[in-house]
């Protein structure tokens, strides 16, 4: 211990001891007041040393993602126990979530502390968003977009069993491949709730990480503060200087419960508990201070007493703090968007029509020329082919591999990394190659992206664009033809666009860029090039660079004749995407009697226009390409029925594809499954007769 005595200053050791006594007192007070601390929580007991050692090396320019046991880390970077307790008790002044999330689930932009993106409870899921922060910092440094007092270091804290998650592997892979300035701090207490390390893992994180070439590694005794402090100094200095990733595998102990709801006596015997208590970081540090540093035991005991008193007083104060107001429950689902009106020139004179895919290319190009914070990545979007539909062709050559680049086959990383990129002020535009492949990224979309603004109380809306080629045509088969809008529309906290023509596509993409919220652009593959018969109108005059089309504004693309309306002989078809062209073709058989609304965006939805026109006509069909049962279209039909009931002359009907698990590859079978203009015309005829 003599070497440690020379390297770790007394004031640091004493600071750590005080923080450990605060952590101990907090755990004890929470346990003694179980009738008050009713919301589920974990404490840092057994993990204090490595957490404090990490915190003490971080600066205001750094980023850290604590996990749910990291209250000591939070104290170490400057959050007082009282403020932590406000989250424990779900109070209105909870600095992280305004009473919406669990204890030790922080988010912070406070200027004098390391920044913290929204933290979820899903184990290991923070690895991708946090690696996205490091990816964003590397990009900022590459293009000199911001100056820092210190080269930023990003810390991602993980429990040992969470490393078995596949998404953690995606984060390790990307960090190692791109040499990102991130530290993966793995706290290994040998338990995953009631699952032991022998049941769950073939190796610890240190050995596991050996397979990720380029990911530097170290082991440390995470119960010994001095050793942890020196190790984390080495790790932080390395990443701050070398700008390369590091994994730190810290052995810890679990002295408290897994959570207040899953108590240690449920699954641990006394022998295991005693083994862990013997390595209590507070006791180890106290012994070191007395025997190796010459501190007076009575003074240390007095610190412990003072800490207990401080925690009791803070707890009583927190109990008395106000609860959130009920009317605040819906605040911060979305950040306010500046794009509320259609602006710019939609149809400039003297321009030729362009296909939808060119509208996308041109819109992104214009944005990237104007905004250095914009970048584009995904599978095969780079310079070689520019996307499997050539939807990003030329962009790689124009902007280079640092701004337009390929990723591995990692849908979770592609989607989830946008959380971190957005947090540091970038605007990622990413692509999932086919809608059928979005499912590996759904976890990130739901757990991290959609909840970030709401659970961070508006501090971290995720400003990103996720492009998703969608839909069936030409024998694409069961894994390249799917429609997924109903699944996506059930995720609260994201916006969804589904343009049907080039002008809308360009205007909506521009609106998505300037929107501070996450946007999914659903882009029908059959409309990209207008190769499908009947889709010629997907080509339009290209709007000017300044054209922006706001979300939530549907388009009345075909109106019924006034004379037919007065006779009660008309109806409205509400649709989007390819459905627009089936509707236009079918409407030709019913001259003047069919009105068509193109939704253009599914979230937000233009209910005002829909309800207004349905009330006017009294009859309605909602048309989708999706399998109809339990679909977005079916739900919309119900909503129309409820809001327009007194004005309806017939039930609102929802029409879509057959309820099959996939689109078959054979063209005859594909045609039989999908809706089309003829099938729609039959439905229109029946409803007009009613």
Q: What is the mean pLDDT of the chain?
A: 95
Q: What is the Cα–Cα distance from 649 to 322, expressed in whole angstroms?
A: 52
Does the pLDDT of residue 5 top 60, yes or no? no
d(CA 599, CA 522): 13
480 is catalytic: yes
Roughly how many angstroms between the first and final C-alpha of the chain, as a whole number?
A: 90
Residues spanned by CATH 3.40.50.970 within the chain? 10-321, 353-541
d(CA 175, CA 195): 28
- Identify the pLDDT of residue 239: 98
Kindly state the percentage of the chain with pLDDT values over 90: 90
How are beta strands 195-196 and 191-192 bridged, if at all?
antiparallel
Give buried/exposed letters for 638-665 (b at 16+ CB in 10 A, else e). ebbeeebeeebeeebbbbbbeeeeebbe
Mean pLDDT calculated for residue range 519-547: 96
The strand pairing partners of 376, in sequence order, are 404, 429
pLDDT higher than threshold 80 for residue 389? no
- For residue 2, is pLDDT > 50? no
Bridge partners, residue 378, by sequence: 406, 431
**Are 522 and 310 within 8 A, CB to CB?**
no
pLDDT at 388 over 80: no
Closest CA to 90 of 104, 101, 74: 101
**How far apart are the C-alpha atoms of 452 and 647, rounded to whole Å?**
40
Residue 244 CB contacts under 8 Å (≥ 6 apart), including other chains: 179, 180, 181, 214, 216, 238
From the list 19, 118, 480, 524, the catalytic residue is 480
Query: For residue 6, what pLDDT is reported?
Result: 56
Domain boundaries 353-541, CATH class: alpha beta
Pick from 260-264, 530-534, 571-575: least confident:
260-264
- Residues 661-675, mean pLDDT to the nearest whole number: 97
DSSP string, 74-137: HHHTT--HHHHHHHHTT-TT-TTTSS-S-TT---B--TTS-BB----SSTTTTHHHHHHHHHHH
Per-residue pLDDT at 1 exceeds 70: no
pLDDT tens per residue across span 146-166: 999 999 999 999 999 999 999
Is 186:249 a contact under the CB 8 Å cutoff? yes
Contact 557, 598 (CB under 8 A): yes
Tell me phi and psi for residue 588, to 5 degrees.
-60, -25
Residue percentage of the chain with pLDDT more than 70: 99
Is the Cα torsion angle 68, 72, 76, 78 positive or negative in sign?
positive
Residue 44: C-alpha distances to residues 69, 105, 112, 619 (Å): 5, 13, 23, 61
CA 567 to each of CA 323, 499, 573, 621, 682: distance values in angstroms, whole numbers, following the listed order: 57, 33, 18, 19, 21
Cβ distance 469 to 391 under 8 Å? yes
Q: What contacts 19, CB < 8 A, 6 or more positions away? A: 48, 52, 72, 75, 76
How far is C-alpha 354 from the geometric centre of its chain's CA atoms?
Answer: 33
Between 639 and 408, the higher pLDDT residue: 639
Residue 617 pLDDT grade (very low, low, confident, very high; cuts 50, 70, 90): very high
**Site of tokens 């502390």:** 113
pTM of the model: 0.95
pLDDT tens across 450-486, in order? 999 999 999 999 999 999 999 999 999 999 999 999 9
Q: What is 555-689's CATH topology?
A: Rossmann fold (3.40.50)
Confidence (pLDDT) at 553: 98
Distance from the Cα of residue 106 to its chain's centroid: 15
Q: Is 90 exceeded by the pLDDT of residue 619?
A: yes
Evaluate whether 92 touches 42 at the Cβ level (below 8 Å): no
Per DSSP, what are the bridge partners of residue 187? 159, 250
Q: CATH says 10-321 is which class?
A: alpha beta
Question: In which residue ranges of the chain is CATH 3.40.50.920 found?
Answer: 555-689
Calculate mean pLDDT across residues 133-142.
Answer: 98
Summarize pLDDT for 342-359 with one digit per residue, the tens.
999 999 998 999 999 999
Beta-bridge mates of residue 185? 157, 248
pLDDT band at 266 (very low <50, low <70, confident <90, very high): confident
């Amino acid at each position: 211990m003599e070497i440690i005595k020379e390297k770790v200053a007394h004031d640091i050791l004493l600071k750590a001891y005080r923080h450990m006594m605060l952590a101990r007192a907090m755990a004890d007070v929470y346990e003694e007041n179980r009738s008050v601390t009713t919301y589920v929580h974990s404490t840092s007991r057994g993990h204090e040393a490595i957490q404090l050692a990490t915190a003490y090396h971080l600066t205001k320019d750094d980023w850290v993602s604590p996990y749910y046991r990291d209250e000591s880390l939070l104290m170490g970077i400057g959050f007082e126990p009282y403020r932590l307790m406000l989250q424990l008790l779900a109070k209105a002044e909870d600095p992280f979530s305004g009473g919406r999330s669990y204890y030790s689930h922080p988010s912070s932009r406070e200027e004098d502390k390391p920044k913290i993106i929204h933290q979820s409870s899903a184990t290991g899921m923070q690895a991708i968003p946090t690696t996205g922060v490091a990816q964003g910092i590397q990009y900022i440094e590459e293009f000199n977009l911001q100056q820092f007092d210190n080269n930023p270091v990003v810390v991602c804290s993980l429990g040992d069993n969470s490393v078995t998650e596949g998404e953690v592997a995606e984060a390790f892979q990307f960090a190692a491949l791109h040499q990102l300035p991130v530290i993966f701090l793995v706290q290994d207490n040998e338990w995953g709730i009631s699952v032991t390390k022998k049941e769950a893992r073939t190796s610890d994180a240190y050995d596991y990480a050996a397979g990720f070439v380029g990911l530097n590694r170290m082991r440390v005794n995470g119960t010994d503060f001095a050793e942890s402090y020196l190790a984390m100094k080495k790790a932080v200095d390395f990443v701050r200087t070398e700008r390369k990733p590091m994994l730190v595998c810290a052995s810890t102990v679990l002295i408290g419960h897994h959570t207040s709801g899953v108590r240690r006596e449920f699954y641990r015997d006394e022998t295991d508990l005693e083994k862990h208590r013997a390595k209590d970081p507070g006791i180890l540090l106290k012994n070191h201070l007395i025997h190796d540093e010459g501190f007076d035991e009575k003074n240390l005991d007095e610190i412990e007493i003072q800490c207990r008193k401080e925690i009791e007083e803070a707890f009583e104060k927190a109990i008395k703090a106000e609860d959130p107001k009920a009317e605040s429950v819906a605040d911060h689902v979305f950040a306010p968007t500046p794009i509320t009106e259609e602006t710019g020139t939609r149809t400039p004179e003297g321009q030729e029509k362009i296909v939808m895919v060119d509208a996308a290319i041109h819109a992104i190009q214009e944005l990237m020329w104007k905004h250095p914070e914009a970048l584009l990545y995904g599978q095969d979007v780079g310079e070689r082919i520019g996307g499997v539909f050539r939807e990003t062709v030329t962009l790689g050559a124009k902007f280079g591999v640092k701004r337009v680049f390929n990723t591995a086959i990692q849908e979770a990383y592609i989607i989830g990394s946008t959380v971190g990129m957005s947090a540091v002020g970038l605007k990622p535009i990413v692509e999932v190659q086919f809608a059928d492949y979005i499912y590996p990224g759904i976890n990130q979309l739901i757990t991290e992206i959609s909840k970030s603004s709401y659970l961070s109380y508006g501090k971290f809306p995720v400003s990103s664009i996720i492009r998703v080629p969608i839909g069936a045509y030409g024998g694409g088969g069961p894994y390249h033809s799917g429609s997924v809008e109903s699944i996506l529309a059930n995720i609260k906290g994201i916006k969804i666009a589904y343009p049907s023509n080039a002008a809308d596509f360009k205007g909506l993409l521009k609106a998505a860029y300037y929107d501070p919220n996450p946007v999914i652009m659903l882009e029908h593959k059959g409309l990209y090039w207008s190769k499908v018969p009947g889709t010629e109108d997907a080509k339009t005059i290209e709007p000017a660079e300044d054209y922006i089309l706001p979300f939530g504004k549907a388009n009345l693309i075909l109106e019924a004749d006034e004379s037919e309306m007065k006779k009660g002989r008309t109806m409205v078809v509400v649709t989007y995407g390819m459905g627009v062209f089936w509707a236009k073709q079918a409407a030709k058989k019913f001259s003047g009697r069919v009105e068509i609304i193109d939704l253009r965006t599914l979230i937000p939805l233009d209910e005002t226009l829909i309800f207004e026109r349905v009330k006017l006509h009294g009859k309605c069909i909602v048309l989708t390409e999706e399998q109809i049962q339990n679909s977005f279209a079916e739900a919309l039909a119900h909503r129309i029925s409820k809001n327009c009931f007194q004005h309806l002359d017939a039930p609102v009907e929802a029409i879509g594809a057959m309820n099959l698990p996939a689109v078959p590859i054979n063209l005859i079978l594909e045609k039989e499954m999908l809706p089309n203009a003829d099938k729609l015309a039959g439905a229109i005829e029946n409803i007009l007769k009613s």
